Amino acid sequence: MKALSDRLRFSLQLEGASLVGVADLTGIPPFNRDEFPFGISIGISLAPKVVSEITEGPTTAYVEECLRIDGELDRISKKAVEFLVSRDCKAKQQATTNTAGTQYPPNFTTLLPHKTVATLSGLGWIGKCALLVTKQFGPAVRLSSVLTDAPLVPGTPIKQSNCESCTACVDVCPAGAIQGASWDAAMPRDSLITVAKCRETARDRLSARIGREIVGRTFCGMCFAACPWTKNYIRGKKPHN
């Protein structure tokens, strides 16, 4: 089990994954996980220079970076499926983004969010901005996930926030959409952020900066650019345990 997990992680990192984690999904209703017992969380960090340029709102480079990474996540997720299937395991890719033709519902929810697989994998926690926060990159990371029955070794789930009293994302949000609550695993997303306000502001006001609509999972980015963990990443400061 450990050998397979290590080989999978190494293989996906060679393909370009910044983060790889394994989640035990058996505590989630079977329908939501297609009855697969494990999930693989895959993350790719945004380029530090791109993130450093969106403190006042999105840029064309930021939108292009998000779309590029989403395409890479789809490619790497497919590699994960191929790796596992070649070892007589079942695996299913969870579509990442618009590049896969995904049509998200109006409230941007899914049965099994990539963020849920990531927190159950131990890759990070959910910040006050409702994004995954990692010690390595802050929230400046985009995610995908794969479902599998492969006998992998899961990480230790993270069930509570590590944001403490920080309000950097709350203070900078131009929509006033972030409510300032500290996350725990039992909390619904609506207790953290008003998604409609966030989306509307990103689309109707901030997208004017780049002359195009902000699409898919790409929002204005100001919240994660303001995060202290993201700033540490941009400065090249290594996280402490």
Distance CA 36, CA 211 (A): 42
Label residue 97 by pLDDT band (50, 70, 90): low
Cα separation of 180 and 178, whole Å?
6
pTM higher than 0.85: yes
pLDDT of residue 208: 76
Angle between the N-to-C axes of helices 2-15 and 60-85, in degrees from 0 to 180, rounded to the nearest 10: 140
Residue 30 vs residues 26, 177, 188: alpha-carbon distances, Å: 7, 32, 19
pLDDT in tens, 108-130: 567 899 999 999 999 999 999 99
Mean pLDDT of 138-146: 97
Q: Exposed (0-12), middle (13-18) or buried (19+): which is 94, by Cβ within 10 Å?
A: buried
Which one, of 194, 199, 226, lies nearest residue 213 by Cα?
A: 199
The answer on pLDDT for 154 being more than 80 is: yes
Q: What digits encode the pLDDT tens for the residues 178-200?
A: 999 999 998 988 999 998 888 88
Of 218 and 45, which is predicted with more confidence? 45
Handedness of CA 33, 139, 22, 74 (dihedral sign): positive
pLDDT value of residue 99: 42
**Strands annotated E in 101-239:** 125-126, 132-133, 141-148
Paired strand residues for 19: 43
For 11-52, the pLDDT digits (tens) are 999 999 999 999 999 999 999 999 999 999 999 999 999 999
